[in-house]
Each structure stands twice: as C-alpha cells, then as structure tokens.
Amino acid sequence: MKEEIKAHVPDFYDWPHRWMGVDEDLAYGEKLLKHFEPFVFEITTGQLAKKTKKKHIDNLWLAGGELIRRISDEENYNIDPKELILECFGDDGGLYCRHLETEDQFKSYDSSCRKFYKFMKQRGNQSD
C-alpha cells in the first residue's frame, strides 16, 4: 500500500511534518495519517479521473492541517484520532478550512470531506 501511495502522492508520509506547528503535533499527525492511508490508497488506485483524485488528496491534506490546528489549539492530544475525525467530518462536509476563499473551493473541500467521512463510517462497520 505504501509504495502505491508514494507513487501517486510522493509527500504523503511527510504530511505530519508539514502540518506540525509544535512538537506535540507530529505524533498526533502520524496517528491521523494511519486513518488517512486506506482512504488515500482507495482514491489513488480507484477509477476516478486524475483531476478528481488530486482534488480529494489536496482537500484531505488541508483537512488534516485543520485537525492538527484544532487539537493543538485545544491542547487535547489525548482524543482518539478516529473520534476526532468522526466528530469533525459529516454528511455536510468537514471542519472549517481557513485556507479556502471561494464558494467553489469550499464546495470541493466539503465534497472530499463527505467522501472521507462515508469511507470512515463504512470502515467503522468493519473490523479495524
């Protein structure tokens, strides 16, 4: 799985470093990445158009940064990453992303967040 992801998203395993604001963020980001990995694998190996794959990957990266910001702001690194994901994503999209400016960007972001949320809920009904 890792090699396939690296082939499509070379910096994927560096995301926790890129999200990090303080040292404590790194370990939490690596825990988040474990939940992102199966989704990214499904996206990169699926039958979606290349542009659609890129959209979902880029939006997931943004969402991960917002999750880290939220955890870091609250200084609550004890919350289970899966619980945080399910709390911050839903059928209406994802948590607010301060890097987006246009309505189209927000729609795209929320579309990716909904897709990730549905993926996580589906996996929750299977064994982890």
Q: What is the pLDDT of residues 27-85, one digit of tens each?
A: 999 999 999 999 999 999 999 999 999 999 999 999 999 999 999 988 889 999 999 99
Is the pLDDT at 128 greater than 50? The verdict is no
Instruction: Tell which wins on pLDDT, 90 or 75.
Output: 90
Give domain limits for the chain.
Answer: 2-124
Q: What is the pLDDT of residues 107-121, one digit of tens each?
A: 999 999 999 999 999
Instruction: Tell which wins on pLDDT, 109 or 122.
Output: 109
Q: Which two tokens stand for residue 113?
A: 């967040």
Nearest to residue 36, comparing CAs of 70, 59, 69?
Answer: 59
- The pTM assigned to this predicted structure is 0.90
